[in-house]
């Protein structure tokens, strides 16, 4: 099956093609085809995974040649190894559950068939990104998910806010894509190859120079754009304008994790451990996890609160990836478990919206646990996982990142501990405002539990949120699995149940949850958002990220554009138009001496001859 791994990409791509080309003729069964294509891709991924397990550790990097792509530069091929197949299982598995959920969520949308075509297109592009054996194929998939995300975020084009959010995501991601593209140019110029295998053979472990640092920083810029890390995070919260399954697919299990994949796959450019590029990755991750957590504290929109949480959790993954092989297993482990518990919560939020007439303001919820018991239980499990409740998935993966970070980068590690405490507060706030307290919804709203086609995926995702983290991290199962793809750390990390950072994390999480209960669980929640302090306003406005971008980039860009237009009109066009006007004016004046009378021309010849004769006589006398 590894030799036919291209089928993983082909199935959803064919599904997207059929649904887009045959248009309205597939309206009745198009959603079923979309689900079938995603499930078929998942089956291929599982079979390839099982086959890969049958090889010895040193043989678990299998190349699949497809065709000659760019002669003299790169062939198109796939790399099936523990890292890529782990991502493929996550993308197709969680992606298929989201497809199934969407059958119920989008049941009344007249363009449901087109929605499923975009979902299929997104899955195909994401699979190409993680399975390609070279940076060119990765970049094609990278741009493919950018296109698909634009289409999905702006799916409800009749909403100006959705169209604006799609354009914003597209533009901000182009900034990161520029960094990735320039990094690829530098890699090709320096090493003469863009294949992962070829680069692995040329780059000596432990070497670092200015070029390697530049490549690492350029790749980091690309990762920041796709994974919504500082300073390219501004698009993520606005992207919540898309349908909720889009948020679950893009912002939980797939697109936003592409940056983490890029950093881990390109680990050779971030060595040796503690190098400038690796340190930059860790700093960006630590800063982003705090920024996302602070933003999440002040959001009343349930989806935007989860978006701030996503930004924060990806920051934890980037922090782990910046620690090198010692943190790779925890970073990828958290990426996988996050795909489950965050998809669980996003889809749970969609279930709440489904029963609340698409209301997203948590101040208009309350007491929903009584009327939506399945949604409540599954959402609550995801909540416990993300705050790191002992023995649930997030406890093993996130606390593993924190402990490793405290050991290698103490300042950043303790900042991650602080971020975990803030996570305990804002996630508890979300649960208390949504499911506890007194009901605060309007009289014409009749909340109800979602149908099975929506709740069954929630149940499956919640099971992964409970058990997956411990299975991956304990006994270093994931570390041993990933070693052939990403290398082995100098010292094998171990998860400790009673480490000082771990106990401090649990204590701060408990404090955060208690504060949230005092402020939002024990007392009535105001129907109108209080004004709040400066810090509250700071968080509500996304840490003034949009204002900063407007001041630093948009307004100077406008001035530069106006200057360019002025220079073009008065400079370039002025010279061309002035020259044309001068020639035209001179021609008009010269035309006046062409009278058409012979006597005038004879007089002109006589005067000219006289002047010429006088001049010659004058020169001769001199």
pLDDT digits (tens, 9 = 90+) for 393-427: 999 999 999 999 999 999 999 999 999 999 999 99
Q: Which of 161, 477, 188, 111 is nearest to 304 (CA)?
A: 161
273, 410: one domain? yes
Last residue of a domain, one of 513, 547, 581: 547
Q: How far apart are CA 34 and CA 390, in angstroms?
A: 38
616, 535: one domain? no
561, 441: one domain? no
Cβ-contact 183, 218 below 8 angstroms: yes
174, 251: one domain? yes
Does 245 map to a domain?
yes
Q: Which of 130, 94, 23, 45 is nearest to 245 (CA)?
A: 94
**Local structure of 63: helix, strand or coil:** strand
The reported pLDDT for the residue numbered 608 is 87
Residue 273 pLDDT level (bands cut at 50, 70, 90): low
Q: Is the pLDDT of residue 46 over 90?
A: yes
Q: Is the dihedral of CA 293, 294, 295, 298 positive or negative?
A: positive
558, 431: one domain? no
Domain count for the chain: 2
- Regarding pTM above 0.85, the answer is yes
Does 120 map to a domain?
no
435, 584: one domain? no
pLDDT digits (tens, 9 = 90+) for 210-246: 888 999 999 999 999 999 898 888 899 998 998 999 9
pLDDT digits (tens, 9 = 90+) for 314-327: 999 999 999 988 89
The reported pLDDT for the residue numbered 92 is 95
Average pLDDT of span 65-83: 89
Name the DSSP class of 524. Answer: P
pLDDT digits (tens, 9 = 90+) for 352-373: 999 998 899 999 998 999 999 9
The reported pLDDT for the residue numbered 387 is 95
Between CA 31 and CA 41, with CA 36 as vertex, the angle to 5 degrees is: 130
First to last CA, the chain: 104
Average pLDDT of span 362-386: 94
Q: Is the pLDDT of residue 34 over 80?
A: yes
Does 157 or 48 have the greater pLDDT score? 48
Residue whose token pair is 């003729």: 25
Q: Give the C-alpha distances (Å, rounded to integers) separating 335 from 247, 323, 386, 414, 463.
A: 16, 15, 12, 21, 16
271, 375: one domain? yes
Does 246 map to a domain?
yes
The reported pLDDT for the residue numbered 508 is 96
Q: Which domain holds residue 298?
A: 158-547
**4: cis peptide before it, omega within 30°?**
no
- Helix, strand, coil: what percent of the chain each, to 5? 75, 5, 20
Does 277 map to a domain?
yes
Q: Give the C-alpha distances (Å, rounded to integers) separating 68 from 14, 72, 75, 184, 240.
A: 22, 9, 4, 19, 40
374, 313: one domain? yes
Structure tokens at 562: 């106006």
- Tell me, rounded to whole angstroms, the distance of Cα 292 from its chain centroid: 14
Name the DSSP class of 156. Answer: S
- Tell me, rounded to whole angstroms, the distance of Cα 572 from its chain centroid: 41
Does 572 map to a domain?
yes
563, 492: one domain? no
The reported pLDDT for the residue numbered 207 is 65
Helix (H) / strand (E) containing 66: strand 62-70
Q: Is the pLDDT of residue 77 over 90?
A: yes
Average pLDDT of span 85-93: 95
Kindly report the average pLDDT of the chain as a whole number.
90
Other beta carbons within 10 angstroms of residue 170's beta carbon come to 18
Does 335 map to a domain?
yes
Q: What is the DSSP string of 211-261?
A: HHHHHHHHHHHHHHHHTT-TTS-THHHHGGGS-HHHHHIIIIISGGGHHHH
**591: cis peptide before it, omega within 30°?**
no
Q: Is the pLDDT of residue 333 over 90?
A: yes
Tell me the β-bridge partners of 79.
63
543, 568: one domain? no
The reported pLDDT for the residue numbered 272 is 60
274, 236: one domain? yes
Last residue of a domain, one of 547, 572, 598: 547
Structure tokens at 268: 């050779």
**Local structure of 529: helix, strand or coil:** coil
Q: Give the C-alpha distances (Å, rounded to integers) separating 591 from 247, 292, 578, 585, 594.
A: 72, 75, 20, 10, 5
Does 37 map to a domain?
no
Residue 208 pLDDT level (bands cut at 50, 70, 90): low
Q: How far apart are CA 228 and CA 501, in angstroms?
A: 27
Does 204 or 484 have the greater pLDDT score? 484
472, 586: one domain? no
Phi-psi sector, 181: left (phi>0), alpha (psi -120 to 50), beta: alpha
Does 141 map to a domain?
no
The reported pLDDT for the residue numbered 106 is 93
> Of 290-294, 378-382, 527-531, where does mean pLDDT reach its minimum?
527-531
Last residue of a domain, one of 495, 526, 547: 547
> Of 383-387, 420-424, 592-596, where does mean pLDDT reach its minimum?
592-596
The reported pLDDT for the residue numbered 621 is 76
Average pLDDT of span 565-585: 82
Tell me the β-bridge partners of 562.
none
Q: Give the C-alpha distances (Å, rounded to integers) separating 26 from 30, 100, 202.
A: 5, 17, 50
Q: How many helices (H) and strands (E) does the chain have?
A: 25, 2
Q: Is the pLDDT of residue 560 over 90?
A: no
Q: What is the DSSP string of 549-574?
A: HIIIIIHHHHHHHHHHHHIIIIIIHH
> Of 96-105, 109-118, 490-499, 565-574, where does mean pLDDT reach its minimum?
565-574
Cβ-contact 385, 287 below 8 angstroms: no
Question: What Rg do the C-alpha atoms of the chain give, in angstroms?
Answer: 31
Cβ-contact 508, 416 below 8 angstroms: no
């Amino acid at each position: 099956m590894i030799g036919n791994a291209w089928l993983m990409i082909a199935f959803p791509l064919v599904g997207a093609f059929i649904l887009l080309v045959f248009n309205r003729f597939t309206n009745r069964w198009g959603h079923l085809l979309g689900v079938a294509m995603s499930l078929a891709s998942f089956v291929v991924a599982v079979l390839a995974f099982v086959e890969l397990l049958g090889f010895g550790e040193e043989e678990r990097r299998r190349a699949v040649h497809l065709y000659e792509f760019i002669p003299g530069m790169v062939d198109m091929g796939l790399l099936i190894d523990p890292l890529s197949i782990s991502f493929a299982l996550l993308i197709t598995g969680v992606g298929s559950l989201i497809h199934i959920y969407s059958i119920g969520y989008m049941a009344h949308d007249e363009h449901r068939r087109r929605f499923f075509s975009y979902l299929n297109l997104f899955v195909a592009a994401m699979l190409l990104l993680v399975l390609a054996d070279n940076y060119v194929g990765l970049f094609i998939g990278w741009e493919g998910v950018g296109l698909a995300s634009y289409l999905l975020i702006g799916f409800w084009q009749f909403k100006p806010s959705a169209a604006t959010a799609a354009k914003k995501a597209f533009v901000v991601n182009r900034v990161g894509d520029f960094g990735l593209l320039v990094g690829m140019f530098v890699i090709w110029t320096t090493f003469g190859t863009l294949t992962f295998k070829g680069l692995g053979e040329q780059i000596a472990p432990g070497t670092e120079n200015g070029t390697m640092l530049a490549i690492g920083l350029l790749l980091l810029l690309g990762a920041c754009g796709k994974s919504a890390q500082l300073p390219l995070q501004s698009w993520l919260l606005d992207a919540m304008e898309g349908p909720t399954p889009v948020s679950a697919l893009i912002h939980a299990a797939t697109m936003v994790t592409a940056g983490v994949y890029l950093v881990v796959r390109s680990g050779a450019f971030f060595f040796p451990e503690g190098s400038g590029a690796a340190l930059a990755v860790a700093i960006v991750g630590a800063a982003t996890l705090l920024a996302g957590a602070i933003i999440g504290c002040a959001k009343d929109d349930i989806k935007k609160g989860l978006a701030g949480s996503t930004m924060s959790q990806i920051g934890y993954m980037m922090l782990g990836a910046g620690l090198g092989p010692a943190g790779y297993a925890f970073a990828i482990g958290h990426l996988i478990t996050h795909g489950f518990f965050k998809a669980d919560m996003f889809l749970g939020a969609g279930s709440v919206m489904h029963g609340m007439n698409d209301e997203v303001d948590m101040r208009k919820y309350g007491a929903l646990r009584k009327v939506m018991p399945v949604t409540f239980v599954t959402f609550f499990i995801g909540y416990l996982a993300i705050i790191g409740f002992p023995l649930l998935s997030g406890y093993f993966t996130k606390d593993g990142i924190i402990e490793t970070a405290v050991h290698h980068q103490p300042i950043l590690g303790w900042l991650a501990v602080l971020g975990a405490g803030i996570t305990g507060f804002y996630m508890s706030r979300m649960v208390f405002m949504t499911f506890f307290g007194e009901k605060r919804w309007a009289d014409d709203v009749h909340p109800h539990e979602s149908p099975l086609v929506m709740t069954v995926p929630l149940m499956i995702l919640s099971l992964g949120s409970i058990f997956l983290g411990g299975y991956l991290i304990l006994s270093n199962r994931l570390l041993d699995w990933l070693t052939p793809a990403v290398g082995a750390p100098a010292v094998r990390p171990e998860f400790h149940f009673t480490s000082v950072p771990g106990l401090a994390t649990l204590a701060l999480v408990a404090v955060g949850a208690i504060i949230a209960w005092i402020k939002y669980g024990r007392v009535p929640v105001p129907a109108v958002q209080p004004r709040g302090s400066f810090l509250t306003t700071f968080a509500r406005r996304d840490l003034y990220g949009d204002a900063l971008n407007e001041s630093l980039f948009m307004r100077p860009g406008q001035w530069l554009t106006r200057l360019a237009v002025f220079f073009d009109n008065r400079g370039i066009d002025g010279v061309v138009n002035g020259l044309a006007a001068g020639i035209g004016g001179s021609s008009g004046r010269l035309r006046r001496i062409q009278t058409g009378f012979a006597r005038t021309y004879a007089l002109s010849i006589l005067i000219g001859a006289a002047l010429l004769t006088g001049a010659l006589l004058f020169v001769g006398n001199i």
